[in-house]
Structure 1
Amino acid sequence: MSSPSSRFSELYSAYAAGCLDPAFALMLETQAMVRGDIRDAVAVSEMIAGAFLETTEPAAMADRALERVMSAIDAIDAPADLSRRAGKAAGQAIEELLALPEPLRAAALDSAGQRGWQTMGLGIKRLPIDAGSAMDVELYRIAPGAKLPRHTHDGAEYTLVVSGGFRDEHGSYGPGDIAVSDQTINHQPVADEDGVCIALAVRDGGLRFSGVIGFVQSLIAAR
């Protein structure tokens, strides 16, 4: 996605209304920090949602709602311990994580501190992220020129390029672009040669690999 389009307008509206799935909210907030045009589109949606909110009858707050909100804010404003734990687990990758835009930075640091990066292949690492969603959310680090194994998908996948870039048989994607894939797409993403590609993937199904990796995957699934 090189510019805001109608297919994503519902995401902006749902985000502005506060009813967007947390995984997509993380993706959209990160994208807005990378690209000004997305930030403007979200701002317009928030203005529209605010106008509708002013005409809505107020609802009573739940017990201790304010206390819970303030506790959540305190947790966000105290990243020191989080950064220390993440630094030990992330090793040399800590600087790359610290360079990520918020709110992805906090989520990635938390995940790195708890789980650490997983190696997928030569030059490819992934970091599962807990976004409080039923969707699968993963941060990918792809070395310059590295290729992901060829694969298709069990469901829909949205891949946001945070930094660097990659290409596949269907196009080239740079910072702030979102590549959309589904069961009809069989591709092999390749990172650009001029730098590390950092990408955030959100999907509602697994990956199906081709070739030898796909054969091994089928054997494991059959057990």
Structure 2
Amino acid sequence: MTVSPPNTFSELYAAYAAGCLDPAFTLMVETQSVLRPEVRESVAFSEMISGSLLETAPAAELSHGALDRALAAIDELDASEAASVRAGRAAGEAMDEVLALPEPLRTAALEATGRGSWQAMGRGLKRLKLDTSARMETELYRISPGARIPRHSHAGNEYTLVVAGGFSDESGSYGPGDVLIKGPKDFHQPVSDEGEICYALAVRDGGLHFTGMLGMLQRMLGAR
């Protein structure tokens, strides 16, 4: 199903505004807000409420050197982002698609390619593991036009944000900014739309369970 941002994601937006959202979902919310104006409005509204609550909260003293440490962390983050962009550009034309992704996903993808390469999962299908959360699996998928992700179910819940292009499965069609949620009892086989490469960001709390011959091989190898 396509998530309705103002309703289904309201708790995520509130947690994001409060600064207590898991980093994987933070990446998803911030990327979706670039793609969807209504999401930006929902996030801004949540931040306004959180700001009002902070104004009424009692003041707390900063620990010694806290400001210096915060400024140093910001400088380090800026330097890391700049280095990631330079590394991505040096990689050549193959990185042009990644450089076209919206922030902050672009920086996360560039940092991931600096640590390792894309993993081929089949004809026209690649995935890149993003190191954003210790609790959630976070992956960026590149699906060529007309390519299929092997039919599978899920060990837990999976949230998939379409970043570019689009895909369809047994439940419908999804485009940029749409979020598809699947649970342990759901089986599906996403197929990328013709004519455009699809990029999708997946956040899940468990692995994929493939069906058919691929599923048999997965079980034999003991892989997730």
What amino acid maps onto 1:121 in structure 2?
G
Tell which deviates more after alignment, 113-122 or 142-151.
113-122
Q: Tell me the alpha carbon deviations over residues 56-111 of structure 1, each in whole angstroms, 9 at most, x when there is no partner.
A: 112233443323322232233233432333345x5543111111111111111000
Query: What does residue range 46-61 of structure 1 map to in structure 2 within 5 Å?
Result: 46-61=47-62
Relative to structure 1, the CA distance from residue 212 to residue 32 in structure 2 (aligned partners, 3 Å threshold; closer, same or farther) is: same
Q: Which runs of 5+ in 1 are unaligned?
A: none
CA distance 1:126–1:91, shift in 2 (3 Å): farther
1:2-34 CA-partner distances (Å, limit 9, x unpaired): 642422110000000111111100100000011
Give the Cα separation in 1 of the matches to 2:190 and 2:92: 26
Secondary structure of the residue that 2:189 maps to in structure 1?
A: coil
Do 2:160 and 2:201's aligned partners in 1 also have CA atoms closer than 8 Å?
yes
- Whole-Å Cα distance in 1 between the matches of residues 149 and 99 of structure 2? 24
* 1:107 aligned partner: 108
Matched, 1:68 2:61: no
1: CA distance, partners of 2:217 / 2:23: 33
Decide whether the 8 Å contact of 2:112 with 2:128 is kept in 1.
Answer: yes
Match of 1:38 in 2: 39
Partner of 1:96: 97
State the distance in 1 between where 2:157 and 2:70 align: 33
Q: Does 1:25 align with 2:1?
A: no
- Note the residue ranges of structure 2 that are not aligned, 5 or more in a row: none
Deviations 1:159-193 (Å, cap 9, x if unpaired)?
A: 00011001100111100000001111100000000
1:105-155 alpha-carbon deviations (Å, 9 max, x no partner)? 111100011111111110001010011432000000000010000000000
Question: 2: CA distance between counterparts of 1:146 and 1:62?
Answer: 54
Aligned to 2:151: 150
- Distance in 2 separating the partners of 1:124 and 1:175: 18
Counterpart CA distance in 2 for 1:91 and 1:152 is 36
Report the count of equivalent residues.
221
- Runs of 4+ aligned residues of structure 1 deviating over 4 Å after TM superposition are none
Contact 1:118 1:126 in 2 (8 A): yes
Corresponding position of 2:140 = 139
% same residue: 56
Q: Secondary structure at the match of 1:214?
A: helix
Find the aligned partners of 1:43 and 1:13 in 2 and give their Cα distance. 10
Q: Is the 8 A contact 1:3 1:37 kept in 2?
A: no
Q: Out of 84, 101, 108, which is 1:82 matched to?
A: 84
User: What is aligned with 2:187?
Assistant: 186
Cα RMSD after superposing both structures: 1.6
Q: Are the aligned partners of 1:108 and 1:129 in contact in 2 as well (CA < 8 Å)?
A: yes
Q: 1:34 and 1:15 mapped to 2: Cα distance?
A: 17
Q: Distance between the aligned counterparts of 1:120 and 1:92, measured in 2?
A: 22
Change (3 A) 1:205 1:91: farther
Q: Alpha-carbon deviation of 1:221?
A: 1.1
Paired residue secondary structure (1:145): coil
- Using the size of structure 1 for normalisation, the TM-score is 0.93
